[in-house]
Amino acid sequence: MTSHCSRLYGLTIDSPFPLPGALPLTPAQVPDVTIVWEGEGVWRAAARAIPISSAGPGAARLGETEDGALYIEWRRELQLVISPSNDRIAVICSAAKLEFVPTVLVGIGLGLLLHRRGVTCLHGSVVSVNGRTIALLGDSGAGKSTAAAALVAAGGTLVSDDIAALLASGDAFSVARGCTNARLGAAASSRIVGTGPSLATAPWIEKLLWDVSDRDLSLSLPDPHLDALYLLGQAADGDSVAVTPLPPARALPRLVNCWYPQGFTRLLTQARFDALRAVAARVPMFEIHYPRRWDMLPALTAALGA
């Protein structure tokens, strides 16, 4: 396989296949993380199983090997193994399953790796708009990627979709530049992107991928300072968007619910909880409720971009 060197979440990654939404690097640089494909004959055995809560990925199993590697697997069809040194991910699957691997790696694979490397991650999309960088959080289906894509269509810049990797910077936090493919359903793609460009499909999640990267610009930009967090929620029928500030004590449990990887609460150590507490104390957080109708999308983006 051809080697691909790219940048995601502050890491230089060498992979045997392109990673969707990653910033390609030329010439190749010394990687922080190497991804290898080992076929299907070297499945790792568990020394310790790690329970996953009901919010976790369906049919996924998490465990550790005797040498301290962390693995996640699906129905003995795909296994990702993160080395004890957190600098290597082994992909174990048949050639027929390789089409699913890049999407899984950019999501849960790198999310678990970042956790093991001590990076605090939230499940959300991050956009820079009107001089501010904001993270859009919420449950699956809350409209995070749709709202982010609408802000990009209005002139914003997508910093990261799906994972917000937060880096402490003094008393503030910055966001590591991540996946610049907005994951959209067919209806959102039609309304925001239009019918002109032909979008690729992520086979694992069956979403359309709108690539909004600007490689030349991304190479020169630092990781942006995080100005605010917005928790998206659905309102009863109406014609207005309600924005409510959350004090740190109320923001913290919401951040715990938005911690990434979602459903892997057994991995939420005291150190990670303390990091979330610091985020709640230092970054303003708001609940934003809006009627889930397409005609309300302009009002939502106006409220987020203010």
| Ramachandran region, residue 78 (left: φ > 0; alpha: ψ -120 to 50; beta: rest) | beta
- Count of all residues that appear for the chain in the document: 306
Predicted model pTM: 0.92
pLDDT of residue 206: 76
In this prediction, residues 228-238 reach a mean pLDDT of 87
pLDDT of residue 263: 78
pLDDT of residue 55: 46
Are 166 and 283 within 8 A, CB to CB? no
Residue range 114-134, pLDDT digits in tens? 999 999 999 999 999 999 999
* Per-residue pLDDT at 225 exceeds 80: yes
Q: Is the peptide bond before 261 cis (omega within 30 degrees of 0)?
A: yes
* Per-residue pLDDT at 26 exceeds 90: no
CATH node for 120-305: 3.40.50
Round to whole Å and give the CA distance between 208 and 195: 12
CA nearest neighbour of 288 among 202, 228, 218, 248: 228
pLDDT of residue 306: 64
pLDDT of residue 203: 73
- What residue segments make up the domains of the chain, in order of their start? 4-116, 120-305
pLDDT of residue 54: 53
pLDDT category at 196 given cuts 50, 70, 90 is low
Residue range 59-110, pLDDT digits in tens? 788 999 999 999 999 887 899 999 999 999 999 999 999 999 999 999 999 9
